[in-house]
Amino acid sequence: MPTDLRPRLHREVTSFVRRSARMRDSQRRAYEAQVGGIVLDVPQGALRTSVADDAAVLDLPATFGRTAPVVVEIGCGPGDSLVPMARARPEIDVLAFEVFEPAAAALVARAVREDVSNVRVAPVDAVAGLERLVPAGGLAEVWTFFPDPWPKLKHHKRRLIDPAFADLVASRLRPGGLWRLATDWAEYADQMRAVVGGHPAFVAEPEERGDRPVTRFERRGLAEDRAIADLVYRRVA
């Protein structure tokens, strides 16, 4: 297996930590077999999770082989929610951003095993992916389920949901599109309500989980007696 010899660069503040777990050889072979198919071959920048400055914006109908409403899920993990929701809604296409390679590999394996064909995976930072790969106004929905809460005050700057990210999501959703969020941290839910609910491009919809299945993160939160907040916001013109 080739070794990545690119220099280590200073990383900007991100909402995730790049974990070091590696895929098993069999898992890697199965994952790499899907590159160019389920797994998008995204031009990388200097860091493995970054997107090259000159990466082309995705032609979404060409990416999925059809014209259909496109949903982005951010930090999908092994697909606990994504695969069942994509299978239950065959009329949509789902683009998943996931930087943790073993989780992305598990998602790909599950999609193949369950013959879910309306999913594509981009193994890059979701912020860079939305900025450089997704066309403006190209999305019907964005799903952000259980982003890292970064509970310590000194780490709040790492939280994904902030005004700049709300601006980015607003620019990528079409009018009438939905942003669905979930968290099991009450204080983070309040931040989401303040940031997204206070953004001029969004109006709050009734808070509901919809068809989102229970994920491992949700089960962990429930086991620790944390309430689950499911938030929904609609993009206005």
Position 8 confidence tier, pLDDT thresholds 50, 70, 90: very low
Residue 20: inside a domain = no
The reply, when asked if residue 144 is annotated as ligand binding, is no
Could you confirm whether 148 is annotated as catalytic?
A: yes
Rounded (5°) CA angle 119-219-128: 40
CATH number at residue 88: 3.40.50.150
Q: Count of alpha carbons within 13 Å of 227, Cβ hemisphere only?
A: 8
Q: How many domains does the chain have?
A: 1
Asked if residue 56 is part of any domain, the answer here is yes
How far is residue 237's CA from residue 140's CA, in Å, rounded to a whole number? Answer: 13
| 218 belongs to an annotated ligand binding site | yes
Q: What is the pLDDT of residue 47?
A: 83
Domain assignment of residue 152, yes or no: yes
Per-residue pLDDT reduced to its tens digit, 158-205: 899 999 999 999 999 999 999 999 999 999 999 999 999 999 999 999
148 is an annotated ligand-binding site residue? yes
Inside any domain, residue 39: yes
Residue found under tokens 């929701």: 85
Note the helical H segments in the chain. Answer: 25-32, 60-64, 82-88, 101-113, 126-132, 163-172, 186-197, 216-223
Amino acid, res. 122: A
pLDDT tens, position by position, 198-229: 999 999 999 999 889 988 888 888 999 999 99
Residue among 25, 115, 148, 225 flagged as catalytic = 148
Q: Please report whether residue 1 resides in a domain.
A: no
Cα Rg of the chain (Å, integer): 17
Is residue 168 included in any domain, yes or no?
yes
Q: CA–CA distance from 4 to each of 31, 100, 116, 199 (Å)? A: 18, 17, 32, 41
Closest CA to 130 of 163, 171, 90, 76: 171
| C-alpha separations of 96 from 9, 36, 77, 107, 153 in Å | 25, 14, 9, 10, 29
Q: How far apart are CA 151 and CA 103, in angstroms?
A: 23
- Higher pLDDT: 23 or 21? It is 23
211 labeled binding residue: no
10 lies in some domain: no
**What pLDDT shows up at residue 215?**
84
- The pLDDT value recorded for residue 12 is 54
27 within 8 A of 102, measured Cβ to Cβ: yes
> What pLDDT, on a 0 to 100 scale, did the predictor assign at position 60?
97
The whole domain housing 58 covers 25-235
Torsions phi, psi of 68, nearest 5?
A: -155, 160
Answer yes or no: is 98 a known binding residue: yes
* Phi and psi angles of residue 139, each rounded to the nearest 5 degrees, phi first: -115, 145
pLDDT of res. 31: 87
What percent of the chain has pLDDT above 90? Answer: 70
Q: Please check whether residue 149 lies inside any domain of the structure.
A: yes
Q: Indicate the pLDDT class of residue 24, thresholds 50, 70 and 90.
A: confident
d(CA 44, CA 35) in angstroms, rounded, equals 14
How high is the pLDDT of residue 155? 77
